Amino acid sequence: MVERRTGPAPGLKLTRQQKGQLGEEAACCWLRENDYRIIRRNWRCRSGEIDIIASCEGLLVFVEVRSRSGASQYGTPQESVDMRKMQQVRSTASVYLQMTGKTDIQIRFDVIAVMLDKAGVTLSVNHIVNAF
């Protein structure tokens, strides 16, 4: 995997938005390397946002990306996907399916957890298939 860094200058702390962007980029790279086709990124509607919509082997996959950097004093990235977030992603996916007319396709909900170092370099990517 190619390491990408768009974070701040050395010594400055990554913002939450920068961590999110770096995590999503790492997730997209991982998905592409594993034969997924990225259909949409950051798809939004009134009910919320879906980080990545991809397809693989006839499935439409809705991916929630979570990233963390440094010490994991707040838990792992995947632990931050709570019941409220799962419901929001499901609801938003339903709107996407209705709006695109893809109501007869099989779907799946995955989580990709990305660990970054303090400089924004990807340390690990953990793809949790059928997470919820």
List, in order of start, the domains of the chain with CATH numbers.
16-71+78-128 (3.40.1350.10)
Banded model confidence at residue 103, pLDDT cuts 50, 70, 90 = confident
**Which pLDDT does position 10 carry in this prediction?**
56
80 within 8 A of 66, measured Cβ to Cβ = yes
CA distances 9 to 5, 6, 13, 43, Å, are 10, 9, 9, 30
Task: Flag whether pLDDT at 9 surpasses 60.
Answer: no
Task: Flag whether pLDDT at 91 surpasses 70.
Answer: yes
Distance of CA 95 to the CA centre of its chain: 18
What length does the chain have? 132
